[in-house]
């Protein structure tokens, strides 16, 4: 039997350090700026109809505040946010609190480039990837274990009003007005296939970019043919939203993953927020 769940990944809202292009990493636990709260509000309104069954967030303040604002705008508020240290931003060691330009200069002096450069006391990309892999495998196993515990799985799958399980068509109805035709048609070839869970994850820019690379390189995630490689691997703006359908089978250790959209930020236009973002900025502006 194939189980499918929706995975929504969101970058936290803007902080003062983001605005001033200073590295935060894990050592600088900065709260959201006024703009950051507005961005989180807009993301919450965009996702207000989605009945999340699981919500995870980094335990750093900027992510926790973003997750709280998103859920405050959701029609289905009765859900606990799980704070997980595996969702923290990449650790940048001695570079934290300093300008991004300084990190780039350190990388150049070492004969390499960002983001592959690891400053003293920082995490390597492989270490970040291992955190991502561990968390994602945990979520997949959690979904499978919770589903298997249900005494009447087919009945539970369709009982959307009582327990939050949704169908793919439910997901489309909630987000249809925000998606173009190509995105809508790529959700799944069988729109009647049930989604057993809706998972929301709030994390960080560099972390999310490494997560996308893991999904592509290790799990062969599929994307719309209209997307270029640079679009797929560009960084996310603050409160950029990516959405995936994850298919699980007990006998297959690797899930099948289909990207519905990536780094979506049109929701910010509803509150007239100007996007000051470039792909290179998004890689490091954390």
* Residues that are catalytic: 12, 89
Strands 194-203 and 166-167: antiparallel
Question: How far is it, in rounded angstroms, from Cα 214 to Cα 113?
Answer: 20
Biggest CA–CA distance in the chain, Å, is 61
- The Cα–Cα gap between 124 and 114 comes to 11
């Amino acid at each position: 039997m194939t189980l499918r769940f929706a995975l929504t990944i969101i970058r936290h809202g803007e902080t003062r350090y983001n605005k001033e292009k200073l590295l935060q990493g894990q050592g600088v636990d900065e709260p959201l700026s006024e703009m950051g709260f507005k961005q989180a509000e807009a993301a919450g309104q965009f996702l207000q109809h989605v009945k999340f069954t699981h919500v995870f967030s980094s335990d750093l303040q900027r992510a926790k505040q973003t997750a709280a604002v998103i859920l405050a705008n959701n029609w289905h508020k009765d859900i606990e946010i799980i704070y997980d240290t595996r969702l923290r931003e990449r650790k940048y060691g001695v570079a934290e609190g300093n300008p991004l330009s300084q990190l780039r200069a350190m990388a150049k002096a070492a004969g390499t480039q960002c983001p592959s450069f690891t400053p003293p006391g920082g995490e390597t990309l492989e270490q970040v990837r291992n955190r991502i892999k561990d968390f994602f495998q945990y979520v997949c196993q959690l979904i499978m274990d919770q589903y298997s515990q249900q005494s009447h799985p087919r009945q539970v799958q369709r009982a959307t009003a009582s327990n939050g399980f949704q169908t793919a068509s439910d997901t489309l109805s909630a987000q249809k007005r925000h998606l173009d035709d190509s995105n809508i048609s790529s959700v799944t070839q069988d729109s009647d296939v049930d989604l057993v869970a809706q998972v929301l994850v709030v994390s960080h820019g560099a972390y999310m970019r490494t997560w996308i690379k893991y999904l592509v390189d290790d799990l062969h995630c599929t994307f719309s043919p209209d997307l270029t490689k640079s679009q797929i691997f560009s960084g996310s703006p603050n409160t950029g939203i990516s959405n995936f359908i994850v298919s699980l089978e007990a006998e297959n250790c690797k899930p099948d993953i289909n990207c519905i959209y990536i780094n979506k930020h049109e929701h910010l236009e509803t509150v007239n927020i100007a996007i000051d973002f470039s792909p290179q900025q998004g890689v490091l502006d954390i």
